[in-house]
Amino acid sequence: MAARAGVSKSLVSLVLRGDPGVSPARRGAVDRAIAELGYQPNRVAQVLGARRSGTVGVLLNDLRNPWFVDLLDGVTATLDTLGFSPVLIDSATLRRVGGSPVEQLLKQQVDGIIVVGTTEDGEQLRRAAAVVPVVLSGTYEPADLGPGVEVDVVVNDDVDGAAAATRHCVELGHSRITHLQGPGRVGDLRAQGYRDAMAAAGLAALTVPGGMSEESGYAAARRVLAGAPRPTAIVAYNDLAAIGALSAAHDLALTVPEQVSIVGYDNTYLAKIRHLSLTSVENGTLAIGVHAARFLVERIGGKTPARRVHQVPASLVVRRTTSRPGV
């Protein structure tokens, strides 16, 4: 301990925390001692003493989905300005080794948890939510986290985003448009946006389950594109599934966008890869991350408003996988 500066522990503590009520002289002495000793405060001891860790758990369900990583950027940046730091945990990886992601976070004394995307750890989250604040981002699930527990939700406007994607196809002149539906509530909402847009255009809707991975999107699209009458456009649940659809088209010797147009969702860096150049729905990933972090920190700070659902707008980014049909 830097009693080297000739002061007490508490003074050091105050200086470290940037307390305004410390005389410049003393502060200088402490700062100098810190520098000389190369003193590094021990986070662990700080946490134990203050019984708050200044960390928030970020529960990603798959580090391989680029959307999560984008969202993480917003979360990290915001958390940082608010004095917190994220503890990442990839449930896919951890579950593979038999661990329990949420408990892991709790034992590490995180002050709160941000759930990113549809998760399978619902039951554990219920228990966690009784102990620390939780906010859901990019998902509505688990919807109910226990009696009296209010959980904020930050999402994009899935209905509108999917509707925009669908309308884009309609406006290009497509009439046989199939939707590859994804899992969970978000999947349902996107499907609904699709159906709304189809109905508004007086077209018949057709949705098939397409999962949320490249693999599952490939399989679904392959089936759809091999059938008759073949759709001329596919609106996918996310970019990964859309890329699977791209591959399916390729394998069936169908050219994109000439013979089949394809739209993704999330506008991840995959969509931006020039060689793929996927038309996709931008869903305000960064803003979602920012708001999720902000909401959580508010609750950690003791505010306990009723459940808030914040929606950021979605917008379509047109690239090279969509065009008029049969062009």
Partner DNA sequence: CTGTTAGCGCTTTCAC
Partner DNA sequence: GTGAAAGCGCTAACAG
Q: Cβ 24 to a second copy, closest distance in Å?
A: 25
DSSP element (H, E) containing 209: strand 206-209
Q: Does 251 bind a second copy (CB under 8 A)?
A: yes
Among 98, 147, 302, 326, the residue binding a second copy under the rule CB under 8 A is 98
User: What are the phi and psi torsion angles at 75 (to 5°)?
Assistant: -65, -50
Among 21, 23, 25, 107, the residue binding a second copy under the rule CB under 8 A is 107
Q: Does 255 bind DNA (CB under 7 A)?
A: no
Q: Does 258 bind a second copy (CB under 8 A)?
A: no
What is the distance between the alpha carbons of residues 75 and 98, in angstroms, rounded to a whole number?
27
Q: How many CB atoms lie within 10 A of CB 298?
A: 18
Q: Cβ 192 to a second copy, closest distance in Å?
A: 28
Alpha carbons within 13 angstroms on the beta-carbon side of residue 17 total 11
DSSP element (H, E) containing 288: helix 285-300
Q: Cβ 243 to a second copy, closest distance in Å?
A: 6
Q: Which is nearer to DNA, 26 or 176 (CB)?
A: 26
SS3 annotation, 45-79:
HHHHHHCCCCEEEEEECCCCCHHHHHHHHHHHHHH
Q: Which does 73 bind (CB under 5 to 8 A by kind): DNA, a second copy, none?
A: a second copy
What DSSP designation does 256 have?
A: T
| Residues within the interface to a second copy (CB under 8 A) | 40-45, 47-48, 53, 63-64, 66, 69, 72-73, 76-77, 80-81, 85, 87-90, 93-94, 96-99, 103-104, 106-109, 214, 218, 243-244, 246-247, 250-251, 269, 273-276
